[in-house]
Amino acid sequence: MARRPIIAGNWKMHNNKAQAKELIDGIMYGVSQLDASKMPEVVVAPTYTALWQVYDLIKNEPKIALSAQNVNPNPSGAYTGEVSLDMLADFNVKFVIIGHSERRQMFGETDEFINQKAVAILEKGLIPIICCGETLEQREAGVTDAHLEEQITKALKGISADDVKKSVIAYEPIWAIGTGKSCDAVEANRTIGEIRKVVAKLYSADVADAIRILYGGSVKPSTIVEQMAQPEIDGGLIGGASLQADSFVDLIKGAM
C-alpha cells in the first residue's frame, strides 16, 4: 500500500507573531509553485501563541495542514497553562505532536501520559504524531530496538487497529536532534522497519503497512533525498531546518 509522505515542521519555541507570519508567508509562496498531486502532506507546528494567526493565513491553502506541539488530554478544567483538544479543534488543527524527547526529558512526561494524550487525540478525530527514540547511551548499549518497542507498545495501549492506521510515528534518535548529526539513512530505515514490526506484532501486517513512520533528527535539504529513498521512511519531522521558508520548501521538494 502506498503511504503518503509527510514533511512536518516543528517550530518548537521559536517565532513571535511577526516571525511566524514571515515564515508561513514564505512557505505558502513556495508551495504555491508546487504541483499538489505530487506533494507530500505538508504540516507546520507553530507555538500556541502563533496558532490562530497561522490558521487564519493558511485557511484557504489546502496544501498545508496545522499541527500543535502538545495538548492536555483532559477535556477542560483547572489545568493552569494547558490547552485542550477542543481548543485546538477550533483552529482546524489536524495533528498533535506527542512524546517528543524534549517533553519527556525536560518536562517529565511519562509513557502513560503520552498514551492518555494519544487516546484523547484520536477520540477527538485528530492525528497524533507519536515520537520515540533512544539516547546515545542506549544505542551504544545495543538496547535501541527494545527501548523503542517499549515506548511504542505503551503509547498505543488501548488504541484500536483503525485508529493506529491513521496515526503517525516519528522515530527521533535523541542524539540526532538539533546536533546537526543525522542518523545514517540506512540505519534509520532499519530502525523504522523494526518499529513497523512492533506494530505488526501488536496489531497486524495490514496495520503496520498503513501507519506512517517519519524520521526526525537533523533532517536537512542535503539529507532528505537519501532519507526519502528508504522504503520504510515515510517523511520527516524537522526542527531547525523548518525555521527558514527556503529550506522547508526544499525539504518538501526533496520528498516529491
User: Binding to ligand PGA (CB under 6 A): which residues in 19-48?
Assistant: none
219 binds ligand PGA (CB under 6 A): yes
- Binding mask 165-194 toward ligand PGA (x if CB under 6 A, else -) reads -------x----xx----------------
- 134, 147, 172, 226: the catalytic one is 172
Cβ distance to ligand PGA smaller for residue 73 or 240 = 240
Lookup result for grid cell 508551495: 31
Using CB under 6 A, which of 46, 73, 128, 216 touches ligand PGA?
Answer: 216
Cβ distance to ligand PGA smaller for residue 73 or 216 = 216
233 binds ligand PGA (CB under 6 A): no
User: What CA–CA distances, in Å, run from 50 to 23, 92, 128, 186, 207?
Assistant: 11, 14, 20, 36, 34
With contacts defined by CB under 6 A, how many residues of the chain interact with ligand PGA?
13
Q: Which residues carry out catalysis?
A: 100, 172
Interface residues with ligand PGA (CB under 6 A) are 10, 172, 177-178, 216-219, 237-241
